[in-house]
Structure 1
Amino acid sequence: MAGGLKWVSLAVLGFLVVIGGGVALLGGLKDTQLLNSWNGGASRRYLREATVNDSASSPSPATRSVFGAVEDPDAVASTVAQTIVNSTNRRSLSYLSSCGTGNPIDDCWRCDSDWHNNRQRLADCGIGFGRNALGGRDGRIYEVTDSSDDDPINPKPGTLRYAVIQDEPLWIIFKHDMVITLKEELIMNSFKTIDGRGANVHISGGACITVQFVTNIIIHGLHIHDCKPTGNAMVRSSPSHYGWRTMADGDGVSIFGSSHIWVDHCSMWNCADGLVDAVMGSTAITISNNHFTHHNEVMLLGHSDSYDKDKSMQVTIAFNHFGEGLIQRMPRCRHGYFHVVNNDYTHWEMYAIGGSAAPTINSQGNRYLAPANPFAKEVTKRVDTEQGVWQGWNWRSEGDLLLNGAYFTPSGAGASASYSRASSLGAKPSSMVGTITSGAGVLSCKKGNEC
Structure 2
Amino acid sequence: MGNAHGHRKHRNNVPPLYKFGNTHPPSNQPNKNEGSSNSNTVMNFPYGHVDNTLRSLAAQAEGFGRFAIGGLHGPLYHVTSLLDDGPGSLRDACRRKEPLWIVFEVSGTIHLSSYLSVSSYKTIDGRGQRIKLTGKGFRLKECEHVIICNLELEGGRGPDVDAIQIKPNSKHIWIDRCTLSDFEDGLIDITRGSTDITISRCHFYQHDKTILIGSDPSHVDDRCMKITIHHCFFNGTRQRHPRVRFAKVHLYNNYTRNWGIYAVCASVESQIFSQHNIYEAGQKKVAFKYLTEKAADKEAGATGHIISEGDLFLNGATAGLMTEDVGCKMFHPTEHYLSWTIEPPTDDLKQVLHRCTGWQSVAKPDDQTVCAE
Q: Same fold (TM over 0.5)?
A: yes
CA contact (8 A) 1:192 1:218 kept: yes
Q: 2:242 aligns with which of 293, 311, 331?
A: 331
1:304 is the counterpart of 2:233: no
Q: 2:155 aligns with which of 201, 207, 226?
A: 226
Q: How far 1:409 moved relative to its partner?
A: 2.6
Q: How far 1:136 moved relative to its partner?
A: 0.7
Alignment of 1:195-274 (within 5 A): 195-204=125-134, 206-229=135-158, 249-257=160-168, 258-274=170-186
Alignment: residue pair count: 324
1:147 is the counterpart of 2:88: no
Q: 1:178 aligns with which of 108, 112, 116?
A: 108
CA contact (8 A) 1:303 1:334 kept: yes
List per-residue Cα deviations over 1:109-154 (Å, max 9, x = no partner): 24xxxx4xx21111132111001111111111111001111xxxxx
- CA distance, structure 2, for counterparts of residue 418 and residue 226 of structure 1: 37
Q: 2:120 aligns with which of 187, 190, 194?
A: 190
SS of structure 2 residue aligned to 1:203: strand
Counterpart in the other structure of 2:273: 362
Q: 2:89 aligns with which of 159, 167, 171?
A: 159
Q: How far 1:303 moved relative to its partner?
A: 1.6
SS of structure 1 residue aligned to 2:57: helix
- CA distance, structure 2, for counterparts of residue 141 and residue 396 of structure 1: 43
SS of structure 2 residue aligned to 1:107: coil
List per-residue Cα deviations over 1:307-334 (Å, max 9, x = no partner): 111111100010000003x111110000
Counterpart in the other structure of 1:351: 262
- Which fold has the larger relative contact order, with Cα–Cα distance below 8 Å and residues 6 or more apart in sequence? 2
- CA distance, structure 2, for counterparts of residue 287 and residue 202 of structure 1: 18
SS of structure 1 residue aligned to 2:70: coil
- CA distance, structure 2, for counterparts of residue 272 and residue 209 of structure 1: 14
Unaligned runs of 5+ in 1: 1-84, 150-154, 230-247
SS of structure 1 residue aligned to 2:64: helix
CA contact (8 A) 1:103 1:319 kept: no
- CA distance, structure 1, for counterparts of residue 365 and residue 94 of structure 2: 28
Alignment of 1:15-414 (within 5 A): 92-95=5-8, 99-100=20-21, 102-110=43-51, 115=52, 118-149=53-84, 155-204=85-134, 206-229=135-158, 249-257=160-168, 258-324=170-236, 326-371=237-282, 373=283, 376-384=284-292, 393-411=304-322
Larger radius of gyration: 1
SS of structure 2 residue aligned to 1:129: helix
- CA distance, structure 2, for counterparts of residue 203 and residue 343 of structure 1: 24
Give the TM-score taking structure 1 as reference length. Answer: 0.67
- CA distance, structure 1, for counterparts of residue 311 and residue 196 of structure 2: 24
Structure-2 change in CA distance of 1:138 and 1:355 (3 Å): same
Structure-2 change in CA distance of 1:256 and 1:208 (3 Å): same
- CA distance, structure 1, for counterparts of residue 253 and residue 336 of structure 2: 13
1:445 is the counterpart of 2:357: no
- CA distance, structure 2, for counterparts of residue 96 and residue 265 of structure 1: 18
Percentage of pairs with the same residue? 33
- CA distance, structure 2, for counterparts of residue 143 and residue 286 of structure 1: 25
Which amino acid in 2 is paired with 1:329?
Answer: R
- CA distance, structure 2, for counterparts of residue 380 and residue 344 of structure 1: 14
- CA distance, structure 1, for counterparts of residue 226 and residue 152 of structure 2: 25
List per-residue Cα deviations over 1:275-307 (Å, max 9, x = no partner): 000000000000110000000000100021121
Structure-2 change in CA distance of 1:103 and 1:290 (3 Å): farther
Q: How far 1:404 moved relative to its partner?
A: 1.1
Structure-2 change in CA distance of 1:249 and 1:385 (3 Å): closer
Q: How far 1:217 moved relative to its partner?
A: 0.5
CA contact (8 A) 1:319 1:433 kept: no
Give the TM-score taking structure 2 as reference length. Answer: 0.80
Q: How far 1:447 moved relative to its partner?
A: 5.5
Which 10-residue stretch deviates more, 439-448 or 345-354? 439-448
CA contact (8 A) 1:319 1:436 kept: no
SS of structure 2 residue aligned to 1:173: strand
List per-residue Cα deviations over 1:249-289 (Å, max 9, x = no partner): 11000000200011010000000100000000000000110
Q: 2:330 aligns with which of 398, 415, 418?
A: 418
Structure-2 change in CA distance of 1:448 and 1:96 (3 Å): closer
CA contact (8 A) 1:95 1:102 kept: no
Q: How far 1:363 moved relative to its partner?
A: 0.3
Which amino acid in 2 is paired with 1:220?
Answer: C
Q: How far 1:163 moved relative to its partner?
A: 0.3
SS of structure 2 residue aligned to 1:397: strand
SS of structure 2 residue aligned to 1:445: coil
List per-residue Cα deviations over 1:357-396 (Å, max 9, x = no partner): 120010000011011x2xx21001112569x9667x4311
SS of structure 1 residue aligned to 2:147: strand
- CA distance, structure 2, for counterparts of residue 347 and residue 423 of structure 1: 32
Aligned CA-pair RMSD: 2.6
Counterpart in the other structure of 2:27: none
CA contact (8 A) 2:266 2:306 kept: no
